[in-house]
Amino acid sequence: MQLKWIKRNKYKIIAFIIGLYVVADVVMHKGLTRVMLPKNFPAYKIDNSFPENKNVLLNTDKNWVIGIDTKEMMNKVLIESSGIEIDVYFDLKKNIFDVHHDADNSTGLNLESQLAIYKQRGLKASIWIDLKNLDDSNCSSAATVLSDLRTKYDLTNKVLVESKRADLLKVFSDSGFFTSYYTPMFNPYSISDDEIKHWVDSLSLIITISKVNALSGYYFQYPFLHHYFPNYPILTWAPRDKFSLVNYFSRKKISGKKEIFILL
């Protein structure tokens, strides 16, 4: 009897299961869902000037590979990849870039070792350097070392330097590197209009006195960044979940936006 009922109502059951999956998917990825919907930001008058420098970054495909922080991962990078991201800390005493993501989790790997694999494999990808500890004491030395590596490994117009210190990126901009300001973490979808105005004013002040080429932020920040700073290309990152339709369509939408220069 039960089997007959299931057979008679199989399409309804399938539709119910699909509906349940979609609801669960939306709930689990509500942040991505919000980004797929239009957002009306308050109108504030700010300086919408263009970036001061015209440094170039070669980029044939905005979908880049995140976190190439081990030799194993560098060896897995596809030959046709347009770009890769590497997390680094500059060691002022050793005058090298350590490759690792978390500040207290050094693996002993340095950037030149990664670049040696890059060269040996014949990779052509551009490289996003997430410089996590840039400060007043190391910015000049870091720029010098990175300039030397750029020359040694033939990376002209293939290196992007990102930091939370927009002011200190000037030395990299002046050295011909494409630079991006890693904006502070805030969620424009969950704050008041007054808080939005605070962030607009704060970021505007920093950006207009810097020489960065682009702005970086989480996927839920990119609509805000583009709305208030439309002349700056946006670098962003979003989660990857191959079992999520919301994730698939949200990444597809983000990638399709002309203001998005790179999506990790």
CA distance 223 to 226: 5
CA–CA separation, 32 vs 254, rounded Å? 10
Task: Report how many helices (DSSP H) and strands (DSSP E) the chain contains, helices first.
Answer: 10, 8
- Along the 264 residues of the chain, how does pLDDT read in single tens digits? 566 666 666 566 566 555 554 555 545 656 676 776 777 889 887 777 888 888 999 999 999 999 999 999 999 999 999 999 999 999 999 999 999 998 887 889 999 999 999 999 999 999 999 999 999 999 999 999 999 999 999 999 999 999 999 999 999 999 999 999 999 999 999 999 999 999 999 999 999 889 999 999 999 999 999 999 999 999 999 888 777 776 877 888 898 999 999 999
Residue pair 135/168 in contact (Cβ under 8 Å)? The answer is yes
Ranges of beta strands (E only) in 132-239 are: 159-163, 178-182, 214-218, 234-237
Q: How far apart are CA 210 and CA 208, in angstroms?
A: 6
Residue spans of beta strands (DSSP E) within the chain: 83-91, 96-99, 126-131, 159-163, 178-182, 214-218, 234-237, 260-263
At residue 50, the pLDDT reads 82
Instruction: Tell me the C-alpha distance between 237 and 20, whole Å.
Output: 28
Cα separation, 217 vs 225, in Å, equals: 8
CA distances from 107 to 68, 135, 163 (A): 13, 22, 21
Task: Determine contact, residues 160/126, Cβ cutoff 8 Å.
Answer: yes
